[in-house]
A and B are shown apart, each in its own frame.
Chain A
Amino acid sequence: MTPLHGPGGTTGEPADLLPSGYRAGEWAVSELIGVGGWSTVYAARPSGRTGGPARPAEVALKVMPTAGLAPRQARRIVESAHREVELGRRTGHPRLIGLIESFVLRAPDRPSLDGAIVLVMERAARSLRELLDAGVPEADRGRLIEGICEGLAHLHRSGWVHADLKPENVLLGRDGSVKLSDFGLATELTGTHGYAPPLGTLDYLPPERWKAPLGALGVQVRPSADIWALGIVIHEVFASGTSPFAGATPVARGAAVQEYGEGRAPLRMDHAVPPFWRDLAADCLAPTHEARAEHTADSLLGRIAAGQPTRRSRGARPHGRARTALLAVALCATAGATLSGEAPRKEAFRPTGELTVFNAERRCQDRTDRDLHCSLGLAIDPTRPYTPGNVVPTRVWHGDVLTAECQLPHGLPIVDEDDLRSTRWFRVRLPSGSAPAGWLPAVRTKDRPPLPNCPYPTAP
């Protein structure tokens, strides 16, 4: 999606635009946001009569006309829309732009738009591309990348590949929240790879894509293609929007990507990129799929959570890539389900259970010196990413016995060093004088005391 150039957008404007105030389904068009290859996006509001309680005040309408197209062209559009709807239906997540509904436009008065597919989506404030053009504030950079990574981690764990990750498709809410969008090329994996239409954005294609054969199902894509694109985006965010690959045009940069991929040129990143992020981007930009495959969105997210240079001094870390601990991953779509079922327990009845802390790191199990490197954290909020900002000051060690008050079955999934994964968290009491409670991920203990479910935590 390309934003219009300047107010009015005079270049090559398609003739068939919906005027402000036009009623499309239950929505009233307010203004044009952008024009893409096959679609036009408008801002819209619920039209008067039907403003139900669940209706957002403002949405984006993606209109994909099919009229006048040859059947095969129309099919391309329908397939693209189908992908978006399917993905929206199956894998909703706070880091993906939400699909509210989709419908076919009935507009007998506008033959060119009659039959267009309309996707009704969350409205974002702007795209990362616009932010890059304006200049990304330094304090926001890490958070932006983390947000993109959370979205990718969720997509990949749900078995999808985005296949067109670029700053245009990373949208930012008015509250600064990061959401991935445009799933027109997104592909569900069968086994280790999926197939996407032979489309892409030159600046974000991994080296192997330049030689990929075209098969009956399209071109093969794997999650590592998204990881490559993430590496480019990391560099862009930290280096004023420039690609790590030199060249005046996307084609020239594409040629530089191939030279690098074939080992004829080194990776040269801008020194404006801080060392932590440069390491991360370099791993994302490993030249082959095989070398990139070990760097999954989950593992990158874990490194970001563990290593954000804002909280710790980099020099103190034993190794730049110490995968300290928990791989923080994104919130399960089912998390909301616990909300309805739980009534808060009465204060008087408070069963408790004892938990012995378990550290999967073998070399920490025998130590009793409470070395900081063997300590484990407790989360403040088990539904938010397990970042340094979301950890109580109190640390715990292997063998400590904690008192748990209740459990949360569907918090943020946590994976430990042995790849055990659990979404369960225990709320544990802390020594008086510190925070009222902390949350221990269930992978950090072998005990499963019978405990009531906790009330679903509300955002602090």
Chain B
Amino acid sequence: MSGVVVHLPQGSGADGGEPVTLRLGPGEVARFGRGSPTTPVELRLDDDAVSRLAGEIRVTDDHWQLTNHSTSHSYLVENPEGAGEYLRVQPRRVGAPIPFEFSRVVLPTRSQVPVVFQVFAPDHVYLDPDATGVLWGSRTVMAYSLDETATYFLVLVALCEPRLRDQSRVAVPTTPQIVERLNGHTTSGALTARAISSHIDYLAEQKLRIGPPDVHDPGKGDRRNGKREEIVGLALRFGLVREEHLALLPPPTGAAGRERQPAR
């Protein structure tokens, strides 16, 4: 657990539109807006319709709060994985708590294209499946908990599937194989290869915090594959993904799948 990550994609910010990533720990605040010498902001949004100080993000516990400094505009916070879930944060609202792990913050502009940035809150805690129903306050819990309804979890299960189905010699699936495997199975439509890659990065960097890759060993070759192997190894080793999660995937197709269909 380590706070939230704010990500401003390429083209939306100042400074030539370079992407910006901020990491905030608990209690830390980031201001966003157009900024000026007298109103500095941590996250610059380069649009005339955005105030100099448009709002603030404050990290609280395992989530974050949004303060809207605008006197006239509401901001939207969308959950891109939530089948249309969103919150409207009214003008002058202070510290609205945001419950989503993934959020798109949408600020209105005069043009067709709104200003959008993303906030990830990877610290949400989930109970162990075998530890529900009892007061949890002083329980021993898994320190790396995953949302089993999130798309990243589906990607993780797909990565682990061959090993879970006991095809232990089979290599970890490639991104195109996962695109194929999850085709049409997510609520938000088809996953692109790029989306799969960012889910894998999110798992490695934010959720499991896999140690940094060995940059001193250029001979290691395809680092991305090493990362996948590592994610799969850890998820299985520590029971983050188990046989029962295979039910989240679409039924297996093809000869290999039919042969190994478990008798349930």
In the assembled complex, B195 has its CB within 8 A of some CB on chain A? no
Interface 9-residue window, one of B69-77, B140-148, B179-187, B249-257:
B140-148
Contact of A200 among B140, B210, B211, B236 (CB under 8 A): B140
Whether B62 contacts A251 by the Cβ 8 Å rule is: yes
Whole-angstrom distance between the alpha carbons of A129 and B138 in the complex?
A: 10
What's the minimum C-beta distance from A322 to chain B, rounded to whole angstroms?
Answer: 36
In the assembled complex, B131 has its CB within 8 A of some CB on chain A? yes
Interface 9-residue window, one of A70-78, A186-194, A391-399:
A70-78
Whole-angstrom distance between the alpha carbons of A247 and B210 in the complex?
A: 29
In the assembled complex, A168 has its CB within 8 A of some CB on chain B? yes
Contact of A213 among B1, B137, B209, B237 (CB under 8 A): B209
Instruction: Across the interface, name the chain A residue whose C-beta is closest to B236.
Output: A72
Interface 9-residue window, one of A49-57, A144-152, A258-266, A406-414:
A258-266
Whether B25 contacts A199 by the Cβ 8 Å rule is: no
Whether B209 contacts A201 by the Cβ 8 Å rule is: no
Q: Which residues of B lie under 8 Å from residue A76 when comparing CB positions?
A: 238-239
Q: Which residues of B lie under 8 Å from residue A251 when comparing CB positions?
A: 61-62, 123, 125
Contact with A along B106-136 (1 / 0, CB 8 A): 0000000000000000010100101111110
Whether B210 contacts A70 by the Cβ 8 Å rule is: no
Whether A199 contacts B143 by the Cβ 8 Å rule is: yes
In the assembled complex, A255 has its CB within 8 A of some CB on chain B? yes
Whether A37 contacts B128 by the Cβ 8 Å rule is: yes
- The interface on chain B, measured as residues whose beta carbon lies within 8 A of the other chain's beta carbons, has a size of 42
In the assembled complex, A291 has its CB within 8 A of some CB on chain B? no
What's the minimum C-beta distance from B101 to chain A, rounded to whole angstroms?
Answer: 14
Q: Chain B interface secondary structure, helix, strand, loop or mixed?
A: loop
Q: Which residues of B lie under 8 Å from residue A214 when comparing CB positions?
A: 144, 208-210, 234, 238
In the assembled complex, B244 has its CB within 8 A of some CB on chain A? yes
Q: Which residues of A lie under 8 Å from residue B133 when comparing CB positions?
A: 11-12
Contacts A2-B139, A199-B142 given; does A262 touch B25 at CB 8 Å: yes
Whether B140 contacts A201 by the Cβ 8 Å rule is: yes
In the assembled complex, A197 has its CB within 8 A of some CB on chain B? yes
Q: Which residues of B lie under 8 Å from residue A250 when comparing CB positions?
A: 137-138
Contact with A along B10-45 (1 / 0, CB 8 A): 000000000000000111100000000000000000
Instruction: Across the interface, name the chain B residue whose C-beta is closest to A197.
Output: B238
In the assembled complex, A427 has its CB within 8 A of some CB on chain B? no
Whether B233 contacts A216 by the Cβ 8 Å rule is: yes
Whole-angstrom distance between the alpha carbons of A262 and B27 in the complex?
A: 11
Contact with A along B232-264 (1 / 0, CB 8 A): 011011110011100000000000000000000
Contact with A along B58-74 (1 / 0, CB 8 A): 01111000000000000
Whether A198 contacts B242 by the Cβ 8 Å rule is: no
Q: Which residues of A lie under 8 Å from residue B143 when comparing CB positions?
A: 198-200, 205, 209, 219
What's the minimum C-beta distance from A220 to chain B, rounded to whole angstroms?
Answer: 10
Whether A2 contacts B61 by the Cβ 8 Å rule is: no
What's the minimum C-beta distance from A328 to chain B, rounded to whole angstroms?
Answer: 31
Whether B25 contacts A258 by the Cβ 8 Å rule is: yes
Whether A259 contacts B26 by the Cβ 8 Å rule is: yes
Instruction: Across the interface, name the chain A residue whose C-beta is closest to B136.
Output: A250
Q: Which residues of B lie under 8 Å from residue A215 when comparing CB positions?
A: 210-211, 234
Q: Which residues of B lie under 8 Å from residue A258 when comparing CB positions?
A: 1-3, 25-27
What's the minimum C-beta distance from B23 to chain A, rounded to whole angstroms?
Answer: 11
Contacts A12-B132, A211-B2, A262-B25 given; does A198 touch B60 at CB 8 Å: no
Q: Which residues of B lie under 8 Å from residue A205 when comparing CB positions?
A: 143
Contact with B along A95-118 (1 / 0, CB 8 A): 000000000000000000000000
Contact with A along B205-226 (1 / 0, CB 8 A): 0001111000000000000000
Q: Which residues of A lie under 8 Å from residue B137 when comparing CB positions?
A: 203, 249-250
Contacts A38-B130, A201-B140, A258-B2 given; does A216 touch B28 at CB 8 Å: no
Whether A259 contacts B27 by the Cβ 8 Å rule is: yes
Q: Which residues of B lie under 8 Å from residue A22 when comparing CB positions?
A: none
Q: Which residues of A lie under 8 Å from residue B128 when comparing CB positions?
A: 37
What's the minimum C-beta distance from A117 to chain B, rounded to whole angstroms?
Answer: 15
Q: Which residues of B lie under 8 Å from residue A5 when comparing CB positions?
A: 135
Whether B139 contacts A201 by the Cβ 8 Å rule is: yes
Q: Which residues of A lie under 8 Å from residue B132 when comparing CB positions?
A: 12
Contacts A166-B138, A203-B138 given; does A73 touch B25 at CB 8 Å: no
Whole-angstrom distance between the alpha carbons of A337 and B232 in the complex?
A: 49
Contact with B along A264-297 (1 / 0, CB 8 A): 1100000000000000000000000000000000
Q: Which residues of A lie under 8 Å from residue B211 when comparing CB positions?
A: 213, 215
Contact with B along A357-398 (1 / 0, CB 8 A): 000000000000000000000000000000000000000000
Contact of A168 among B59, B138, B237 (CB under 8 A): B138
In the assembled complex, B81 has its CB within 8 A of some CB on chain A? no
In the assembled complex, B201 has its CB within 8 A of some CB on chain A? no
Whole-angstrom distance between the alpha carbons of A35 and B238 in the complex?
A: 22
Contacts A37-B130, A211-B2, A262-B25 given; does A252 touch B139 at CB 8 Å: no
Whole-angstrom distance between the alpha carbons of A375 and B164 in the complex?
A: 68
Whole-angstrom distance between the alpha carbons of A38 and B130 in the complex?
A: 7
Whether A199 contacts B140 by the Cβ 8 Å rule is: yes
Q: Which of A149-202 contact B (CB under 8 A)?
A: 164, 166-168, 185, 197-202
Query: With contacts A202-B125, A213-B210, A255-B1 known, what are 17 further pairs, Cβ within 8 A?
Result: A5-B135, A35-B134, A36-B140, A72-B237, A72-B243, A129-B138, A185-B140, A198-B144, A200-B143, A211-B209, A214-B208, A214-B210, A249-B61, A249-B137, A251-B61, A254-B62, A258-B25
Q: List 8 tightest A-B contacts by C-beta distance, closest first.
A: A12-B133, A255-B26, A213-B209, A37-B131, A259-B27, A70-B243, A213-B211, A252-B61
Q: List 27 A-B contacts (CB under 8 A).
A: A2-B134, A38-B130, A70-B242, A72-B237, A72-B243, A73-B239, A76-B238, A76-B239, A166-B138, A200-B143, A205-B143, A210-B2, A211-B1, A211-B2, A214-B234, A214-B238, A215-B234, A216-B230, A249-B61, A249-B137, A250-B137, A251-B62, A255-B61, A256-B26, A258-B3, A262-B25, A264-B25
